[in-house]
Structures are given as structure tokens and as C-alpha cells.
Amino acid sequence: MLELQDVQQVFAAQQANRRALAQTTAEQRIERLLRLRGEVERRAADIGAAINADLGRPVDNRDEINTVLGSIDRIQAGLAEWMAPLEVPRTPGLPQAKGVYVRYEARGVVLLFGTWDFPIGMFFSPFVQAVAAGNTVLGKTSSMAPATGKVVGEIVSAVFPPEEAIAYSDGDVSTPEGQRLLRDVLLDLPVDHIFLTGSPKVGSAIVAAASKHLATFTVELGGKSPVIVDDTADLDKVAEALLGLKIYNHGQTCLSADYLWVPPHRRDELIEKYTAAVQAAYYEDGVYQWQRDGRFVDRRNFDRVKGYLDEAVGKGAKVAFGGSSDADALVVEPTVLTDIPLDTGVIREELFGPVLPVLTYTDEQEIYEHSAALGKPLGFYIFSSDDEFVERVLANTTSGGVTVNGGMLHWVEENLPFGGVNSSGYGRYHGVWGFRELSNARSVFHALA
């Protein structure tokens, strides 16, 4: 278990080193990131085995590894340009200036909290951007993915000395001792920036902790991300996208589709196409092959989603597909629900599981009012060939990001700023946006002497 003295020693070393690290060149930062890239590649088999142990995903699944490598490659290509002073026009009437520009400077010590659903990608994505911005990193991996957390800590320590970056992999925040670690150790440090991917409950604690020291913060949380289908949508494309939006990682994705709206006369056809796609991808001889994708991270999450499902059925929801579960394997079969009462957990709470509630609408206002009542989600998905419909939905709703006629593409495209809004998070990262998020934009007006 982490001890207060150990954490404080590392924090003091990072504080002492932050000025030197902030003055490193693009070439020096890229050199560090390329060493990290090589270490991630070298440990690919260990990463696959660890993720399999924690989440049941196939050992040869490289999705998270490729995310990290791709992020480093994009930083390598753009960092020198990102670090250059950004010149801005001088306002007429002000003194003549030698230069009017913005310098992007390191924030200092970044306290980074990883997550368990994508324990490699969602730790290293912000990590590499913090390093690119010239910060030191005090990292904490999720105790719910202990095998992967151990590998992450080993990778970081193989590349970076503690005064530059470290990743702690112990401390279960669901236990009293883990709460002490979070509250009295990590969150009591006067760091310069806090970055969290996690739940709204922990996000609130992070924001409160940041306020004590007036640290800046980035929190990426999630929410009830809807899928909106209209009369003009290509249902084959919708069904294909839903495989990733609803089933991938057993539905444990912050951008997962939480529920779906479709016109009544298209509902059954869409369900038929979606369930056929699910069966083709994840079933053999009529049996769900969960090992092709993964399982719940723990019994608590299994019980939570199973409880939502049982409650909905108990209140009159109909199971159009699936519905079975296996507590020993920690899996719930991909499930489609219809005729769902709106006061049930599957409608009110973020699911984080492979259950798809399908709602029907005859008036677009139903979508807008319902979406607003559930808060501002991290993602929003619209399927339509009608640009006017798309524009109306965009104008009447809000979210962190939107993908039209696809799944999670606003996350994949690193030239777009990624993040939430209010209940789904605060701040933006990916690509140059992450570099800027983890930098201080320092304004300089250099008048003539």
C-alpha cells in the first residue's frame, strides 16, 4: 500500500524538477515518448494477458496498444509546431509591438487518474499529452484492473525516473484504506493540474480537491449517450455501428450507446438487423461467445446491470433479444428491451453494459425533452440522410461530442477536441487540444523598447 511519506517524496522531487522539464525542447520530449512507444510495444504480450485477466478481452486484442502508439505518432509529427509561439494580430491603437503572441508552457505537476474500462488507452492517452506539454506526471491506475495497473507502473518506471513520471498501481478506492489514499494523500497534494477519467461521483471529489489549491483540472465522466434514428437512416449502418457502441468491451465504455430512439414503424426492422449482426459476431450454434469480447470487470458491476434488467422486466419491459446472464462468468447476454417504463434504471442510469433499451418517438420534441432531463452526455449519435434533421437535433440538444452516421468517430478523430460538458466532464484533449489542455496559454505583449 502506498505510504504518505513515499508519495510526498516523489511529489517533492517532481516539484523540484518541473522547471527543468518545462524547458525541454520538442526533440527531447519526443525522444522520451519514443522510448515509451518502444516499451509499450515490447510489453504487448504482457498487456494483452493483463487486460484478459482484468476484463476478459482476447489476449491478442491490440486496440488499446494501437491507441497509445497512434497518439505518440501524432505528437511526434506535430509537437514542434504546437510548441511554437502562436502569433496574434495587434489591436489598432495599442503601442507598436515587437511581438504579440501566446506561449504554451507546462502546467507543472499533473496528477493523473486512469480508469479500469480501458486501463492502457485511457491512462496513456492523457499521459503522453502531459509529457508532450513538458509536465511531470504523478499517475494512479485503477485498482479495479490490478493486473494491467501493475504492467502500466512497470512500463512507466522503465522509461521515466520518478522525478519525471510515476504510476502507482495499488490502493483500492472502494476500501477505507483506499479512500484514505485518495483523500488524505493524493488529493491533498498541491499539484498544478488533475486529470481524471472516471465516474461523476469521483469527478465531484476531484473538482473539490482541485479547488483547495486552485489547481486546474480535466474530468471525463460519461453519461446517457443516446442514438437517434430517423426515417431516412440506413438501418444496416445503424446495426453495424451498434455492435461497437453497445457490445464492445461488454458495453463498458464511456461513449457506449445507452438507449436508442427510432420511429415506431422502423423499430422491429432495426432490432432484427441489429440482433442478426450480434449473432453473426458473437454467437456460435446459438450460444453467446463472450470470450470474443470480454466480461464485466467485477461482481458489483454485473449485479448492477443485472438489477437494472430485472427491474425493467419486472415493470413490464419486453425482452426482444437476449436477457440471460451468467453470474460465475460475470456476463449478461447482449439484450434488447422494448416497451420500457421511463422510471426504470435502464432509462435513468448510465448502463455500462450490453443492454440496449429501444424507445420510439413520433415527435422530435420527445427526444429533446428526454435528453435534456438526463443531463449532457459525453457522446451523441445521429443516423440520418436528412441534413435538416441532423441540424435540428444538434440545435436542440447538447453533449460533449457528436458522431453522425457512425460510432465513436468523434473520439477516433484526434484532430477534434474530445471531452464532456457539465455532468459528463470538463476540459478537452486529443491531439493539439490535449497539448493545450495540459499547458498554460501565457499571453505576451512585447512592446518596442
**Alpha-carbon distance 105 to 91, whole Å?**
24
* C-alpha grid cell, residue 294: 470480454
**Are residues 285 and 156 part of one domain?**
no
Q: Which of 261, 273, 143, 185 is nearest to 7 (CA)?
A: 185
pLDDT, position 186: 81
pLDDT per position as a tens digit, 248-274: 999 999 999 999 999 999 999 999 999
76-90 tens-digit pLDDT: 999 999 999 999 999
In the predicted model, is pLDDT for residue 145 greater than 70? yes
- pLDDT tens-place string over residues 200-221: 888 888 899 899 999 999 999 9
Instruction: Name residue 311's amino acid.
Output: E
Residue 188 CB contacts under 8 Å (≥ 6 apart), including other chains: 209, 212
Give 15-20's long-range contacts (Cβ < 8 A, gap of 24+): 15/108, 15/109, 16/163, 17/136, 17/163, 17/164, 18/106, 18/108, 18/109, 18/135, 18/136, 18/192
Q: Are residues 192 and 340 in the same domain?
A: no
Whether residue 184 has pLDDT greater than 80: no
Say which CATH number the domain at 84 has. 3.40.605.10
pLDDT surpassing 80 at residue 416: yes
pLDDT in tens, 104-122: 999 999 999 999 999 999 9
pLDDT band at 171 (very low <50, low <70, confident <90, very high): low
CATH of the domain at 234: 3.40.309.10
Examine the domain organization and report whether 291 and 439 are in the same domain.
no
Considering the domain architecture, whether residues 270 and 381 belong to the same structural domain is answered as yes
Same domain for 139 and 176: yes
Confidence bin at 198 (pLDDT 50/70/90): confident
Span between the terminal Cα atoms of the chain, in Å: 57
Residue 188 predicted with pLDDT over 90: no
* Confidence (pTM): 0.94
Cell of 401: 461530442
Co-location of 437 and 407 in the same domain: no
pLDDT band at 169 (very low <50, low <70, confident <90, very high): confident
pLDDT tens digits for range 333-342: 999 999 999 9
Specify the pLDDT at position 68. Answer: 97
**Residue 78 and residue 194 in one domain:** yes
Please list the active-site residues.
Answer: 220, 254
Same domain, 443 and 354: no
User: ∠ CA 174-146-134 to the nearest 5 degrees?
Assistant: 95
Based on the fold, state whether residues 436 and 398 are members of the same structural domain. no
Report the chain's mean pLDDT, rounded to a whole number.
94
Q: 398 and 442: one domain? A: no
Reported as a pLDDT band with limits 50, 70 and 90, residue 187 is confident
Instruction: Return the pLDDT at 201.
Output: 82
pLDDT above 80 for 389: yes
Ramachandran region of residue 405, left (φ > 0), alpha (ψ -120 to 50) or beta? left
**What pLDDT score does 161 carry?**
97
What is the domain count for the chain?
A: 2
- The reported pLDDT for the residue numbered 1 is 54
The pLDDT score that the predictor gives to residue 62 is 95
The rounded percent of the chain whose pLDDT value lies above 90 is 90
Same domain for 443 and 302, yes or no, is no
All cell numbers assigned to 207: 473538482
245 and 213 part of one domain: no
pLDDT of residue 358: 98
Question: What range defines the domain where residue 336 resides?
Answer: 226-412
Residue entry with cell 488507452: 121
